[in-house]
């Protein structure tokens, strides 16, 4: 294992401190620590890529205003060659897994092809991820075999979640579009159900199965994402941003932001200013 992280020892733009690294056939697994306020400028990976957040949180930004907030217990799955930028408003420890294309298909039994960036969280996936985290912290000669088995289980959970998401995908995609178009206003469940001609309880269940969130939680995520963009732009005060993104007051905005990203808007703003 490497020595403990020395605060301030990693400048902005580097790639974190490796705490443990396993090199297997067609698969590299790294346990990496990222300090608070670190920014990794736009880059891409040559191989398919999984990142499980064990502690803290980070935000990944890609083209076309696409962003993913990845908190403890969540995992991002990404195909090779996708440019993106990583921002760490708080300290973060993550497990990075990079696969040769043939290896990811082999591990997943040919059922999972990583074609676009997606985020998965909760349930068995998080349990497997935390098990892998603890295994890497106390690595021994059996760790490679244990780690490979856990990654197979994580990939299987991704495949299962992706399959379940597809079941109501047309209705869910329409609802997602409506929520994003109407943001910061979040329409009610009854209104959305009428738009897609589903019973409210059916829509609520389908939406949660597909996204892992309730409609209200997704609406709040859209608000926070917009707030991040406004903070990064640096043109408005935080009180103004709270109003622009639909929060009742700045204290409500601060609570929601910290719950989502693990830091206050003020800390995030300072991190963006470098």
Q: Residue 187 CB: number of other CB atoms within 10 A? A: 18
Pairing of β 27-34 and β 84-88: unpaired
- Helices then strands, counting H and E runs in the chain, come out as 10, 10
pLDDT at residue 161 in the model: 67
Assess if CATH 1.10.10.60 describes domain 169-273: yes
What is the Cα–Cα distance from 68 to 62, expressed in whole angstroms? 9
Domain ranges of the chain: 17-165, 169-273
* pTM, rounded to two decimals: 0.62
What is the Cα–Cα distance from 217 to 197, expressed in whole angstroms? 22
Confidence grade of residue 34 (pLDDT, cut at 50, 70, 90): very high
The CATH classification of domain 17-165, taken from the options 2.60.120.280, 3.40.640.10, 3.30.70.1520, 3.30.1130.10: 2.60.120.280
- pLDDT (tens digit, 9 = 90+) per residue, 162-211? 665 554 567 888 888 888 888 888 889 999 999 999 899 989 988 887 77
Could you tell me how far CA 54 lies from the centroid of its own chain? 11
Average pLDDT over residues 148-171: 74
What is the Cα–Cα distance from 151 to 109, expressed in whole angstroms? 12
**With pLDDT > 70 as the criterion, what percentage of the chain qualifies?**
83
Q: How many CA atoms lie within 13 A of 264 on its CB side?
A: 9
Confidence grade of residue 1 (pLDDT, cut at 50, 70, 90): very low
pLDDT at residue 8 in the model: 33
């Amino acid at each position: 294992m490497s020595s403990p992280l020395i605060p301030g020892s990693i400048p902005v733009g580097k790639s974190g401190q490796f705490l443990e690294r396993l090199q297997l056939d067609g698969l590299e697994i790294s346990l990496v620590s990222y300090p608070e306020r670190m920014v990794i400028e736009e880059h891409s990976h040559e191989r398919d890529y999984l990142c499980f957040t064990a502690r803290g949180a980070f935000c990944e930004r890609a083209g076309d205003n696409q962003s993913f907030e990845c908190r403890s217990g969540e995992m991002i799955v990404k195909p090779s060659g996708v440019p993106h930028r990583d921002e760490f408003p708080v300290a973060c420890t993550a497990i990075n897994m990079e696969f040769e294309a043939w290896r990811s298909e082999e591990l997943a039994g040919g059922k999972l092809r990583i074609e676009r960036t997606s985020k998965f969280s909760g349930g068995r996936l998080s349990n497997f991820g935390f098990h892998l985290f603890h295994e890497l912290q106390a690595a021994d000669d059996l760790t490679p075999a244990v780690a490979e088995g856990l990654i197979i289980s994580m990939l299987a959970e991704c495949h299962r979640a992706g399959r379940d998401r597809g079941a109501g995908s047309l209705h869910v995609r329409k609802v997602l579009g409506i929520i994003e178009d109407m943001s910061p206003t979040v329409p009610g469940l009854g209104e959305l159900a009428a738009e897609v001609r589903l019973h409210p309880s059916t829509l609520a269940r389908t939406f949660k199965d597909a996204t892992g969130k309730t409609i209200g939680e997704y609406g709040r995520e859209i608000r926070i994402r917009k707030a991040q963009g406004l903070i990064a732009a640096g043109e408005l005060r935080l009180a103004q941003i709270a109003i622009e993104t639909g929060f009742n007051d700045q204290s409500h905005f601060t609570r929601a932001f910290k719950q989502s990203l693990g830091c206050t808007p003020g800390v995030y703003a300072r991190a963006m200013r470098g």
